[in-house]
C-alpha cells in the first residue's frame, strides 16, 4: 500500500476513471497498453491505482492488495465500469483474459484493499463497454457488449442483439439491460421503466445532471450513433430527446463510439473525441445545452484525437481527459510504432480562469528562488502542496 510519486501515468485505453470531489482526486484503474508476442492484450494490473491530484496537478500511484487474499483483487480489465461512493470505489464487469465478467469488486480508498462482493439477486449480463452512474446510493448500469443471455426473450426485460461477427471465445452481442446495485442492502435489483427505451448499444457515454441521466451515441451492430436519450430517475421514465443519424449534418456531432460525455454544470455537457462511423479517431469538442437541447462547437487550439479515453469534471470548472488511443485501434498493421497508440497525456479543457489558490501555488513555485525562505511560515498542508508542485514543475522543465 505504498505511495509512489510519478510524473505521468502509464498510457492506456479502455481504463476506468472516477473523481472524488471532496478530495479533488481523479482515480484511474486498469485498461491495457499493448500486446504480447501472441498478440494477446496486455492488461494493466488492478494492484496499481493511479491518482491525479487536480489541485497541484501531480500524479501518484498506490499499490493495492486484497482484503482477505489475492482472489479479492480483480483481474486486469478493459471496458469495466466504476463509481465512487463515500470512501469506496465500486467496479463492475469488463473484459479480462478469461472473457467478459459480471463480477463486482470494491476498493477501500483509505487502506487500498480490494474485496470481491457477492450481492444478492440476479447478476447483470457479463459485458464490457457499458456505462454506470450513482443515484440515491445505488449504482446503475446500462447497456454493454457481452454474453448471450440464458433467458428467452419473453423471460427478460431487456433486448439483446447477437453479433454474427463476434470472433472471441464465445458468441457475444449488444444489450440494453438496466439494473442497479443497492449499496445499502448489497443486492442487484432489476426493475421496469416507462417510455421509449434506447436500443441495445455499447461504447456509449453517460452524463448525470441532477435527477436526469443522458445517454449519447455508442455502437449498435454496424451503426455508430449520435442519438440522445434521457432517463428521469424520479419517474423512471425514458425520453428520446434526439434521434438524428445523418452524418452529413454539421449542426450536430456525427455518430460515434468510445467518446466522453461529461457534465460541466447543470446546464452543459461536454462531448469530446470518439470513433466515427468510418473508423476515424475524432478530436472535435461540442457543448450540449441541456435546457434547449442544442449543440455548439468548441474550437480548440490543438488537434488531439482520442478513442476510449476517460474524462471527469474537476472542482475547478474544467474537464480533464486522460489516456485513450490516438489512432485507429482496429488497424494496427498500418501503425508505425504501436507505442504511439496509447496516450498517457492529460488534456485540460478549461472553461473558467484558474482559482486564486492554484494561481498562487503556481506563482510561488515559479518564483521559488525569491520566496522559498518564507515557505516555512506557511501552514503545513500549504507547504506540502508547494513542495509537490515544485517537484512537478522542475521535472517537467527538465524534460522539455
Task: Specify whether 233 is located in the same domain as 362.
Answer: no
Residues 317 and 392 in one domain: no
Residue 18 in this model has a pLDDT that exceeds 60:
yes
Cα–Cα separations (whole angstroms), residue 356 to 55, 314, 352: 11, 16, 12
Number of Cα atoms under 13 Å in the Cβ half of residue 80? 34
Contact 296, 313 (CB under 8 A): no
Task: Assess whether 174 and 91 both reside in one domain.
Answer: yes
Rounded to an integer, the average pLDDT of 112-131 is 97
Rounded Cα distance, 361 and 378, in Å? 12
CA 256 to chain centre: 16
d(CA 106, CA 206): 21
Q: Residues 74-90: what's their mean pLDDT?
A: 97
| Domain endpoint, select from 352, 375, 391 | 352
- Clarify whether residues 274 and 375 are in a common domain: no
Q: What is the pLDDT at residue 239?
A: 97
Same domain, 344 and 369: no
Same-domain status, 290 and 387: no
Given this model, what pLDDT does residue 392 score? Answer: 56
What secondary structure letter does DSSP report for 48?
E
What would the grid cell of residue 203 be?
Answer: 461504447
Provide the 10 A C-beta neighbour count for residue 284. Answer: 19
Instruction: Give residues with Cβ within 8 angstroms of 357, minimum separation 6.
Output: 55
- pLDDT at 154 exceeding the cut of 80: no
Domain end residue (candidates: 314, 333, 352) = 352
Q: Mean pLDDT across the chain, nearest whole number?
A: 91
User: What's 241's domain CATH number?
Assistant: 2.120.10.80
Q: Are residues 331 and 386 in the same domain?
A: no
pLDDT, one tens digit per residue, over 183-203 is: 999 999 999 999 999 999 999
Mean pLDDT of 132-148: 97
> For residue 304, what are the contacts with CB-CB under 8 A and spacing of at least 6?
283, 326, 345, 347
pLDDT at 6 over 70: no
pLDDT on residue 399: 35
Query: What tens digit of pLDDT does each residue of 273-325 get?
Result: 999 999 999 999 999 999 999 999 999 999 999 999 999 999 999 999 999 99
Tell me, yes or no, whether 299 and 389 share the same domain: no
- Whether 374 and 332 map to the same domain: the answer is no
Residues 336 and 379 in one domain: no
Q: What is the rounded distance in angstroms from the CA atom of residue 275 to the CA atom of residue 117?
A: 34
CB 199 within 8 A of CB 176: yes
Closest CA to 11 of 44, 53, 52, 49: 44
Are residues 238 and 380 both part of a single domain? no
pLDDT band, very low/low/confident/very high, at 395 (cuts 50, 70, 90): very low
Domain count, the chain: 2
Asked if residues 129 and 79 have their Cβ atoms less than 8 Å apart, the reply is yes
Distance, CA of 320 to CA of 311 (rounded, Å): 6
Sequence-separated (6 or more) residues with CB below 8 Å from residue 256: 217, 224, 226, 273, 274, 275, 276, 277, 282
Query: Does position 242 have pLDDT exceeding 90, yes or no?
Result: no
Instruction: Give the model's confidence band at 250: pLDDT under 50 very low, under 70 low, under 90 confident, else very high.
Output: confident
Instruction: Report whether pLDDT(7) > 70.
Output: no
**Residue 336 has what pLDDT?**
66
As a whole number, mean pLDDT of residues 130-145 equals: 98
Predicted local distance difference test score (pLDDT) of residue 1: 47
Neighbours of 29 (CB within 10 A): 26
pLDDT tens digits, one per residue of 330-387: 887 776 677 778 999 999 999 988 888 888 888 888 888 888 888 888 888 888 888 8
pLDDT score, position 65: 97
Q: In degrees rounded to 5, what are phi and psi of residue 110?
A: -95, -40
Residue 155 pLDDT class (50, 70, 90 cuts): confident
Domain that includes residue 400, residue range: 356-400
Q: Are 267 and 245 in contact (CB under 8 A)?
A: no
So what's the pLDDT on residue 152?
Answer: 81
* pTM exceeds 0.75 for this model: yes
User: Do residues 225 and 255 touch, judged by C-beta distance below 8 A?
Assistant: yes
Write the burial class of residue 157 (CB in 10 Å: 0-12 exposed, 13-18 middle, 19+ buried): middle
DSSP 94: -
Both 274 and 174 in one domain: the answer is yes
Amino acid at each position: 500500500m505504498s505511495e509512489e510519486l510519478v510524473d505521468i501515468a502509464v498510457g492506456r485505453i479502455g481504463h476506468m476513471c472516477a473523481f472524488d470531489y471532496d478530495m479533488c482526486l481523479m482515480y484511474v484503474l486498469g485498461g491495457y497498453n499493448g500486446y504480447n508476442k501472441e498478440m494477446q492484450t496486455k492488461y494493466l494490473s488492478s494492484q496499481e491505482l493511479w491518482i491525479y491530484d487536480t489541485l497541484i496537478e501531480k500524479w501518484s500511484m498506490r499499490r493495492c492488495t486484497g482484503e482477505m487474499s489475492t482472489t479479492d483483487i480483480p483481474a486486469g480489465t478493459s471496458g469495466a465500469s466504476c463509481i465512487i461512493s463515500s470512501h469506496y470505489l465500486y467496479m463492475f464487469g469488463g473484459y479480462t483474459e478469461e472473457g467478459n465478467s459480471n463480477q463486482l469488486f470494491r476498493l477501500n480508498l483509505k487502506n487500498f484493499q480490494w474485496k470481491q462482493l457477492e450481492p444478492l439477486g440476479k447478476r447483470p449480463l457479463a459485458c464490457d463497454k457499458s456505462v454506470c452512474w450513482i443515484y440515491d446510493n445505488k449504482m446503475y448500469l446500462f447497456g454493454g457488449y457481452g454474453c448471450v443471455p440464458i433467458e428467452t426473450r419473453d423471460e427478460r426485460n431487456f433486448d439483446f442483439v447477437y453479433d454474427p461477427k463476434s470472433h472471441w471465445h464465445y458468441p457475444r452481442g449488444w444489450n440494453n439491460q438496466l439494473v442497479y446495485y443497492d449499496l445499502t442492502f448489497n443486492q442487484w435489483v432489476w426493475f421496469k421503466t416507462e417510455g421509449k427505451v434506447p436500443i441495445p448499444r455499447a461504447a456509449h457515454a453517460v452524463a448525470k445532471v441532477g435527477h436526469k441521466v443522458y445517454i449519447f451515441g455508442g455502437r449498435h451492430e454496424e451503426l455508430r450513433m449520435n442519438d440522445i436519450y434521457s432517463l428521469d430517475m424520479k419517474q423512471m421514465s425514458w425520453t428520446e430527446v434526439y434521434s438524428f443519424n445523418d452524418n452529413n449534418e454539421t449542426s450536430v456531432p456525427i455518430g460515434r463510439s468510445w467518446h466522453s460525455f461529461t457534465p460541466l454544470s447543470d446546464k452543459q455537457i461536454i462531448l469530446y473525441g470518439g470513433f466515427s462511423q468510418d473508423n476515424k479517431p475524432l478530436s472535435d469538442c461540442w457543448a450540449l445545452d441541456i435546457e434547449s437541447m442544442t449543440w455548439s462547437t468548441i474550437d480548440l487550439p490543438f488537434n488531439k484525437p482520442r478513442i476510449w479515453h476517460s474524462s471527469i469534471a474537476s472542482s475547478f470548472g474544467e474537464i480533464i481527459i486522460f489516456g485513450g488511443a490516438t489512432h485507429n485501434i482496429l488497424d494496427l498493421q498500418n501503425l508505425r510504432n504501436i507505442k504511439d497508440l496509447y496516450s498517457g497525456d492529460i488534456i485540460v479543457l478549461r472553461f473558467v480562469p484558474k482559482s486564486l489558490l492554484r494561481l498562487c501555488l503556481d506563482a510561488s513555485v515559479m518564483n521559488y528562488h525569491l520566496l522559498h525562505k518564507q515557505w516555512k511560515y506557511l501552514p503545513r498542508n500549504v507547504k506540502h502542496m508547494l513542495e509537490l508542485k515544485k517537484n512537478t514543475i522542475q521535472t517537467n522543465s527538465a524534460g522539455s
